[in-house]
Structure 1
Amino acid sequence: MYRIIHVNDARHLSRNFGFFDTLGLKGPKPVVIFGNLLDLLFVSKPDLEVQRTKQFGKIYGIFEGSKPLVQVAEPDIIKQILVKDFRVFNTKPRITNVGHPVIESMLITTRGDTWRRARTAVSHGFTVARMRKQYVPVRHCVSEHLLPVLYTHADSRTPCDLKRVYSCFALSCITRCAFGVPTDPYNEPQHPFVANAWPVFRLPVWKLFALQVLPPYALRLLNISSFFDETRIANIARTIRQIIRAKASAGDNGDDFISAVINSKPDVYDDQDVDSLVMAAKTDGQNVVKAPLTEDEMVAQGFNIFTAGFDQMANLLAFVSYELALKPEAQDRLYAEIVAAGAHTNGEISYDELRRLPYMDAVVNETLRLHATPVKLRRIPGHDFPLAGTGIVVPRGQPLEIPIYANHHSDEYFPDAERFIPERFLPENRHNIKPYTFLPFSTGPRVCVGKPFVLLETKLALFHVLRRFRFAVHKDTKVPPIVKTHPMIKSLESLYISVVARD
């Protein structure tokens, strides 16, 4: 018989601390006010997730302040949450105790019919046809904003902060491809997108803790409502709003993402471009409101694309370069594949050929496994929900978290999990990977809609960079690299690598 445990509102700071004992779940002992957050002062968030899953098993509980969070690392239950019973979990809870209007309207934080409307609009910007059109501007950004900087470092034999270099490249790509706005981050630091791009992610550690432990009224008094810097949110949102109005006024039908959002039709889909799960999500329910996005909603989607496509892309490229520097044999194998692919095309490669490079795909996926940007996913059930095979019912409104990073680093699912072994993702070995243990982009209807663009930008940049340069460890290279303190994502501070020009 299932055991249903109802959680009372936390009027007292430790009132819920017996929740998991009653439910029969293990977990680290909480501390008044902070719950289990103080552990982050001593261990990075990614490493902490790995340690806890090893210690407490695949289903356990932690406290964010006084708020209980059920942790679910069991693949079959992950499938249940993200795919099979998606409709029950199509409600993403706030990850802070108060919300910011822009953040709350982004695709990744909306829910129900609002999410379906936003997903429909944003999906038009990431179709296969549109990715083909984005290939040329991404290639231009590689030539103009990435290769020259790497040549400068190679010629001067100075170590290269790849997080900074790739951030500038990713920023130039996202402003051009998402908004149709060319930028030069190195030479135009005053541009509104450039001036606010890095500061938007800088939030003092005390504010990160405050967002998770303080009640809403206290956060409002302190004017804290987001993991992003609020002044920078306003600046970026203002710039995006100006672009949207200018495009709408001019009837702009450009190939950039925001133009696709502006011109999207709420009830028009393309079966060839949108996967069946997303199609099902869009049409789920009998009374879905088929209305175009408001200007505020468009601004929120633009902000979502901007932040996700900038910092996370830079992290991925930097981590790939780092792993290749540490493992020269993998770098040599990828280089050989790249040279062979461009042998008869003057060193160029088509969109379709780029997608068919097996070792390139394996290297990128293995990097995503080791260094997934999202440390975990959070979901909330719309009604009391049984976790299959456990005898446990999660009460309606009780947040669950899926520790992506912990599963990616599990020796059970990925033998010798801490080693960089791209071969595990080659076509002949993929069958060994247990479904729902590799989730760098999530899965199901709420899979990351920007995945095609992430892979296009990453692979195209690597193709042209590795044709011309070799990465090597420098005395300033930190092993492991230093990551920022953040409750939900893994992000680099800096990463110094030697860049050597090939003959």
Structure 2
Amino acid sequence: MAFITAYWGLDGMIALTALIIAAYLYMTRKFNYWKRRGVSEITPTPFLGNFKECVLLKKSPGFLMKDFYDQAKGLPYVGFYVLDKPFLLIRDREIVKNVLVKDFNYFSDRYGSPDPNDRLGYANLFFIKNPAWKILRTKLTPIFTSGKLKKMFELMIECAKNLDTHLESLTVDDARKETDVKDIAAKFTTDMIGCTAYGLNVNSLNNPNAEFRNHGRKIFEYGYIRGYEVLAMFFFPYVVRLAGLKTFGKDSTIFLRRVFWETITQRMESGVKKNDLIDILIELKKNHSLQNFEGFKFDGDDLVAQAAIFFTAGFETSSTTMAFTLYELAIHTEIQNKLRREILEALNETDGNITYDMLLSLPYLDMVVSETLRMYPTLPFLDRVTTETYKMPNSDLVLEKDTPIYISMLGMHYDPEYFPDPDKFDPERFKEENKHNIPSCAYFPFGEGPHACIGTRLGLLESKLGVVKIISKYEVTPCERTLIPMVINPKGSTTSPLNGDLYLNIRKINTSAN
């Protein structure tokens, strides 16, 4: 005889049904959380909430957030659910400004978080929590002064020479060469981060087996496993902790740790100074290694973490910007030609030399890159979490502590209220007289407020230098494998082309500045 009825099979069906009902009730218990607080919400589905397409890796979270943004037109904010957990998407610019700038102390931490035991992932400047974040940010800021950047630029020019050599090897006479410009851009920026952060001549452009490039590729190679790992870091931090996931992957974590300590040891023994990140980290280690700053110390993996994030974030953001810029220039020949004229005129005035001041003096280049960043921001959303109870200004809404807050950068960058005809690539939006028409907190490709990207100027230098090097001597055009329109990788949490590659034809041209 069975437990409930006379039949084991029937008992099993009853037990399974009860289990399903219990799971359903548990996973829907928080639904209507936002409605009860007078906030409009996007209707969730049981078990997955509003996150089904992301969980199935059919849509990137950046584009899902944009969908939420568009659906909530006219509202200051809208609630949604990741599985059963309530999240809030902010749409109103003034509230965005409050979250990112004015009331920063209530939103100083990101919601996304690696495993605290994964110190390379958790203790770096991008993810670390306040107040350790504030201390670290203050200590690392000096590396990005104008004086330091000018000295770094001298190292970057050497990497640009390697780019010349690589491009020469690809092109023959006037023939068009189908080329993965995303890979070229990634190798170029990997070399630049290798020299400016680690003081190493990586030269992955001309060495297909360069370790830095191989590990950089692994970190941002969005297959199913890696796609879920990165998605979990931004939206399911508790899963990351339970599974003990590594931010940079197991093999790459070992590599980054080894290279860092080899470089530190060699630099300390030689006494050589290169005015790079390693020099600053050596000084911090010497002066503060015995101190504990809110659970953070300038030693061990906490120190390695700064070089690791500098490398990974530095090469990927700049290479993506550079590649998408070349893509749009290939499609819009008239814009490419106009930019080339500006570049060649400037080179004629500097005897063909690219200088720091010359690169910053090209207004049309800045307009082109700014428009690329509007359409293809590397991280298409911003995440924050309330560190204490927060009352929304001019509203009865009170946000509980630990409420995840998200901002759709992509949604705001494509909002026709701020950018008319948003799907059109139009650098003129960023012409000096037009930039003033863009409202504050409507355009922020590097974030906004105290948490804005610390390496913005360095990243822009890298991208612009790469574009100038290529466009001054080469023409880029679409090829058979060029995706028109562009398709973004649905498995990636960052903005990346489908399959991670971006093919264009590249052809050497005759110019007066050659």
Instruction: Give the TM-score normalised by structure 2.
Output: 0.85
1:154 alignment partner AA: T
1:232 pairs, out of 235, 249, 252, with: 252
How far does residue 79 in structure 1 lie from its aligned partner after superposition?
A: 0.9
Deviations along 1:51-101, one digit per CA (max 9) or x if unpaired, are 221112341122222222111121111111111111221122234687632
Distance 1:263 1:193 in 2: 25
| Correspondence 1:29 to 2:43 | yes
Three-state SS of the structure 2 residue aligned to 1:91 is coil
Distance 2:380 2:39 in 1: 22
Go from structure 1 to structure 2 and tell me whether the alpha carbon gap of 1:64 and 1:43 turns closer, same or farther (over 3 Å shift). Answer: same
Three-state SS of the structure 1 residue aligned to 2:424 is coil
- Deviating beyond 6 angstroms after TM superposition, the runs of 4 or more aligned structure 1 residues are 96-99, 265-268, 287-292
Distance 1:429 1:192 in 2: 44
- 1:154 corresponding residue in structure 2: 171
| Correspondence 1:123 to 2:130 | no
1:468 pairs, out of 466, 469, 473, with: 473
Distance 1:87 1:247 in 2: 38
2:368 pairs, out of 363, 374, 382, with: 363
Three-state SS of the structure 2 residue aligned to 1:500 is strand
Three-state SS of the structure 1 residue aligned to 2:78 is strand
Deviations along 1:141-178, one digit per CA (max 9) or x if unpaired, are 1111x223333333252211001111111111111111
1:300 pairs, out of 274, 299, 305, with: 305
Which ranges of structure 1 fall in alignment gaps of 5 or more residues?
A: 1-9, 269-286
| Correspondence 1:258 to 2:278 | yes
1:443-482 aligned within 5 A = 443-482=448-487
1:93-172 aligned within 5 A = 93-95=111-113, 100-144=118-162, 146-155=163-172, 156-172=175-191
Higher mean C-alpha displacement, 69-78 vs 178-187: 178-187
Distance 1:142 1:497 in 2: 20
1:66 alignment partner AA: D
1:335 pairs, out of 340, 364, 368, with: 340
- 2:65 corresponding residue in structure 1: 49
Kept in 2, the 8 Å contact 1:29–1:36? The answer is yes
- 1:496 corresponding residue in structure 2: 503
- 1:87 corresponding residue in structure 2: 105
Kept in 2, the 8 Å contact 1:180–1:256? The answer is yes
Distance 1:215 1:316 in 2: 28
1:3-18 aligned within 5 A = 12-18=26-32
1:70 alignment partner AA: L
Distance 1:197 1:241 in 2: 18
2:78 pairs, out of 60, 64, 71, with: 60
Go from structure 1 to structure 2 and tell me whether the alpha carbon gap of 1:95 and 1:472 turns closer, same or farther (over 3 Å shift). Answer: same
> What count of residue pairs does the alignment treat as equivalent?
473
Go from structure 1 to structure 2 and tell me whether the alpha carbon gap of 1:69 and 1:97 turns closer, same or farther (over 3 Å shift). Answer: farther
How far does residue 500 in structure 1 lie from its aligned partner after superposition?
A: 1.9
Residue identity over aligned pairs, in percent, reads 27
How far does residue 458 in structure 1 lie from its aligned partner after superposition?
A: 1.4
Go from structure 1 to structure 2 and tell me whether the alpha carbon gap of 1:388 and 1:197 turns closer, same or farther (over 3 Å shift). Answer: same
1:243 pairs, out of 263, 278, 287, with: 263
1:153 alignment partner AA: L
How far does residue 222 in structure 1 lie from its aligned partner after superposition?
A: 4.7
- 1:279 corresponding residue in structure 2: none
| Correspondence 1:434 to 2:451 | no
1:131 alignment partner AA: L
Distance 1:458 1:470 in 2: 17
2:501 alignment partner AA: S
How far does residue 364 in structure 1 lie from its aligned partner after superposition?
A: 0.7
Distance 1:99 1:17 in 2: 32
Distance 1:470 1:354 in 2: 20
Go from structure 1 to structure 2 and tell me whether the alpha carbon gap of 1:363 and 1:85 turns closer, same or farther (over 3 Å shift). Answer: same
Deviations along 1:170-203, one digit per CA (max 9) or x if unpaired, are 1111111110011121444444323322112235
1:398 alignment partner AA: T
Three-state SS of the structure 1 residue aligned to 2:131 is helix
Distance 2:43 2:168 in 1: 52
How far does residue 242 in structure 1 lie from its aligned partner after superposition?
A: 2.6
Distance 1:325 1:350 in 2: 25
| Correspondence 1:353 to 2:358 | yes
Kept in 1, the 8 Å contact 2:113–2:127? The answer is no
1:176 pairs, out of 174, 195, 216, with: 195
Distance 1:465 1:206 in 2: 35
Kept in 1, the 8 Å contact 2:329–2:335? The answer is yes
Distance 1:76 1:215 in 2: 28
Kept in 2, the 8 Å contact 1:264–1:292? The answer is no
2:508 alignment partner AA: A
How far does residue 367 in structure 1 lie from its aligned partner after superposition?
A: 0.4
Instruction: Give the TM-score normalised by structure 1.
Output: 0.87
Kept in 2, the 8 Å contact 1:61–1:70? The answer is yes
How far does residue 499 in structure 1 lie from its aligned partner after superposition?
A: 1.1
| Correspondence 1:19 to 2:24 | no
Distance 1:136 1:207 in 2: 36
Cα RMSD (Å) of the superposition? 2.8
Three-state SS of the structure 2 residue aligned to 1:343 is helix
Kept in 2, the 8 Å contact 1:138–1:173? The answer is yes
Computing the radius of gyration over CA atoms, which structure comes out larger, 1 or 2?
2
Which ranges of structure 2 fall in alignment gaps of 5 or more residues?
A: 1-23
Distance 1:292 1:220 in 2: 21
